[in-house]
Structure 1
Amino acid sequence: MTQQTKYNMVKDQITNWIASGKVKPGEKIYSENELVKMFGVSRHTVRQAVGELVHEGLLYREQGAGTFCSSTANLTSTPVQGERQFKPLASNGKNIGVITTYISDYIFPSIIKGIESYLTNQGYSLTFACTDNDIEKEKQCLQTMLDRNIDGLIVEPTKSSNFNPNLHYYLQLEQNNVPYLMINQFYSQLMPPHIIMDDEHGGFIATEHLIELGHEKIIGLFKTDDRQGVNRMQGFIRAFREHGLPFFPDMVLTYTTEEKDGSLIERLEKYFSSLSKPSAIVCYNDEMALQVLNMLRKLGLSVPEDVSIIGYDDSFLAEASDVKLTSVSHPKMDMGTEAAKWIVSAVENPSTNSYSKVYEPELIIRNSTASRLKVKEA
């Protein structure tokens, strides 16, 4: 039996448990150890299967608690691109729109789980949609939400560092007295109610950690069509300034949404062919950090023995590989819950005005980073 067959066996069986109702929304699935014994496979195979189901939105993880069946696993597809609907058992007749850049990928299932859990408990129906971080798709999503006469909207901005041509849809929401809240970032032209992370500080503490480990030649990889990446880059540069380290050419490599799957890694690989190689890399997120990890392995370099890596978001990907990633925390489910609480308050109490909440990031240290001095001695 091949490794791929074993992986499919585990994934298909868990999917069947969900589809048949053996595992119900909100229920915890078997632990990694139990799944390993049950299927007679390796821990890596179990993690790969469960990780993909998390990606697809069928499962979600809660740190320290385990892996659970997602209520969004029962969402039904609608004819609108990237949209799903969910109705609670007891509805109050009100509908909240939720627009994110992605629905079933990366950290978004956990954010959506927080939103969905609170809103459905309050009797609200939900309409989910995703933009794939594409301005034209965001336009379509906003048009649909307005046509459906939603009572409130939670939205993650699309390409938030650029001017957005869809601002008039948000102004129309205001004219219609429909409250909306932005998460992860916000459009500065609107200054709407928002819940975000202090991404500048997150970039700073990630870089400072490497500096304190003795690294001086550190490269930063940042996505610049979202403000999160721009702010993380600012924190990266501030750490160099505050610690008096010299700047050097190409210490920052930037990319856009469209470039994340190939060209950046190719550029970085060429950098490692030079004589002056970096000893550490700060990545925009955990997804990019895993791509970097795979690239370094192909080049015959080890992490953290040759190069230290830091990710961002502390997603499930941070522990998906044998090298566990040092990463900056993201509140994920708690952010979703807080967003849902505010939108309910704004719908039920129209006098609710401006609001902002900023989460302070923390650095979760794992084994992808090491002291530069210890590496040299080894």
Structure 2
Amino acid sequence: MAQQTKVGMVKEKIKEWIVNGKVLPGEKIYSENELVKMFEVSRHTVRQAVGDLVHDGWLYREQGAGTFCSTQLIQGQPQSRRDAAGKTIGVITTYISDYIFPSIIKGIESYLTARGYSLTFACTDNDPEKEKQCIETMINHNIDGLIVEPTRSSSYNPNLHYYLEMEQKNIPYLMINQFYPQLNPVNIILDDEKGGYIATDHLIKQGHKKIIGLFKSDDLQGLNRMQGFIRAFRENNIPFFPDMFVTYTTEEKDFIYKLMTLLQDASTRPTAIVCYNDEVSLQVLNLLRDLKIKVPEQMSIVGYDDSYLAEASETKLTTVTHPKTDMGIEAAKWIVDAVEKRENEEFKNKQKVYDPKLVIRKSTSTVSRPAAERKQVII
């Protein structure tokens, strides 16, 4: 029997109990272990089935007590989600991939599920039109609150009226990683300007002067990291030079080609690169390997986010930290407090800003002097 069929079988049987009065409104249903033995299915199947029924309003959870039949049923059918005892939080991210997003979602999920909340996820692929579809779906499903990672935050967003509609409907929402400044919403962010600064300052302190910054330009995170990059040059009195920035957007990912043209001439190439994130850093490492440029002997690299990718290659990446799981937990705490009409002391100013740190590994080292310069010193 297919996994989805097993989930459906468990759901239909529990709904049958409810409709036939075997489980009455307010009564506790069988435990997870009992359901596993009763239906001879996996624990994962039971959890998914029960989670779906909570989401649909047939059941609700009470922390530390268990799962119960909904107390507000009409002729054996659940009322709308906003009237059901269990509540649902929507989460919209730009990507759901094997990068930092699963860690953020894990933090959100761990806090919400422990408190009886259900989650529904959506992904925009950093496309405003997809964001529109995601928000419409969330509102139509009567979510109780929304956690959002903004789409293309460096430019005007055409979907602002949807967020204003949620405000009118008293649906709380919070933004993570960045926010739309026109809305001035509650938000949880990382100090990306400082992150770009400490990454660049580290390289300058190691003697690097010709450093390239590789940044994504259609998200504010990239522009803020670029701002920190520039500040490090200014404060250390390092001269600016042409082609010190390589930028790209969500669609235009030709930065590797742009970078390759700047690295081919050994006499003019930079000695270090600050990358937008760890994912980009790995692509740069692959390019340097193809060009036979050694890291860190001939080129130093700094990544960003301190993701699992930072230690996935032979050369472990020096990188800037991102709170990931902790950010997810904090977002979930605020949204629960907002849904349950409680004040959250940490968000008096509508914002929580994480302080980034630099994790130094093997991808950076002091700058190597040219061979001609070393010979001159020996003489």
TM-score range, shorter chain: 0.7 to 0.9
Q: Is residue 2:235 matched to residue 1:242?
A: yes
Superposed CA deviations along residues 122-167 of structure 1, whole A, max 9, x for unmatched, are 1001111110111111000000011011110000000000100000
Match status 1:346 vs 2:338 = yes
Deviation at 1:248, TM superposition (A): 0.2
Quote the residue 1:272 is aligned against: 263
Deviations 1:215-274 (A, max 9, x none): 0000000001000000000000000000000000010111001123xx110010011123
Which of residues 352, 367, 372 in structure 2 aligns to 1:372?
A: 367
One-letter amino acid of the structure 1 residue matched with residue 366 of structure 2: S
What is the CA distance between 1:175 and its match in structure 2?
0.4
Provide the C-alpha distance between the structure 1 equivalents of 2:342 and 2:119, rounded to a whole number of angstroms: 19
Give the counterpart letter for 1:265 in structure 2. Answer: I
Q: 2:145 aligns with which of 152, 164, 177?
A: 152
Match of 1:295 in 2: 287
Structure 1 gaps of 5+ residues are 1-70, 77-86
Matched, 1:311 2:303: yes
Residue 133 of structure 1, aligned match among 126, 151, 159:
126
Structure number with larger C-alpha Rg: 2
Deviation, 1:350, is 6.3
The amino acid across from 1:272 in the alignment is: L
> Which residue pairs with 1:39 in the alignment?
none
Over residues 100-128 of structure 1, what are the superposed CA-to-partner deviations in whole Å (9 max), with x where a residue is unaligned?
A: 01123310000000000100001001111
The correspondence for 1:361, drawn from 356, 364, 377, is 356
In structure 1, C-alpha distance between the alignment counterparts of 2:156 and 2:130, rounded to whole Å: 15
| Distance in 2 between residues matched to 1:248 and 1:272, nearest whole Å | 15
Q: Say if 1:306 and 1:375, in contact at 8 Å, map to a contact too.
A: no
Q: Alignment partner of 1:258: what SS?
A: coil
Give 1:188's match in structure 2, choosing from 172, 181, 189.
181
Matched, 1:95 2:88: yes
Query: Equivalent residue of 2:90, what SS?
Result: strand
- DSSP-derived class of the 2:246 partner: strand
Corresponding letter in the other structure for 1:273? Q
Aligned-residue offset at 1:311: 0.2
**CA distance in 1: counterparts of 2:239 and 2:326, whole angstroms:** 39
Partner SS, residue 289 of structure 1: helix
Matched residue SS, 2:111? helix
Shift of 1:375: 8.8
Supply the AA of the counterpart residue of 1:225. D
Deviations 1:196-218 (A, max 9, x none): 00000000000000000000000
Identify the range of structure 1 (151-160 vs 342-351) with the bigger mean alpha-carbon deviation. 342-351
CA distance in 2, matches of 1:362, 1:162: 28
**Residues 16-40 of structure 1: per-residue CA shift (max 9 Å, x gap):** xxxxxxxxxxxxxxxxxxxxxxxxx
The aligned residue for residue 233 of structure 1 is 226
- Aligned match for 2:276, one of 284, 296, 320: 284
- Give how far 1:282 is off: 0.1
**How far apart are 1:298 and its partner, in Å?**
0.3
User: Is it true that 1:326 corresponds to 2:318 in the alignment?
Assistant: yes
TM-score between the two structures when normalised by the length of structure 2:
0.74
The CA deviation at 1:327 is 0.2
1:176 aligns with 2:169: yes
Letter in 2 for 1:279: T
Q: Distance in 1 between matches of 2:356 and 2:48?
A: 32
Task: Give the Å deviation of 1:354.
Answer: 5.6
CA 1:212 to 1:239, structure 2 compared with 1: closer, same or farther past 3 Å?
same
1:213/1:371 contact within 8 Å kept: yes
Q: Which residue of 2 aligns with 1:47?
A: none
Q: Does the CA-based 8 Å contact 1:96-1:152 persist in structure 2?
A: yes
Give the partner amino acid of 1:323: T
Structure-1 residue corresponding to 2:160: 167
Name the CA distance, whole Å, in 2 between partners of 1:100 and 1:75: 22
Does the residue aligned with 2:309 lie in a helix, a strand or coil? helix
Structure 2 Cα separation of the partners of residues 349 and 168 of structure 1: 24
State how far apart, in whole Å, the 1-side matches of 2:228 and 2:187 are.
Answer: 21
Of 244, 247, 250, the residue aligned with 1:257 is 250
CA RMSD of the aligned region, Å?
Answer: 2.0
The TM-score, its normalising length taken from structure 1, stands at 0.75
Tell me which amino acid in the other structure corresponds to 1:360.
D
Gaps of 5+ in 2: 1-43, 50-59, 69-84
Conservation of the 8 A alpha-carbon contact between 1:289 and 1:309: yes
Q: Distance in 1 between matches of 2:336 and 2:182?
A: 24
Matched with 1:56 is none
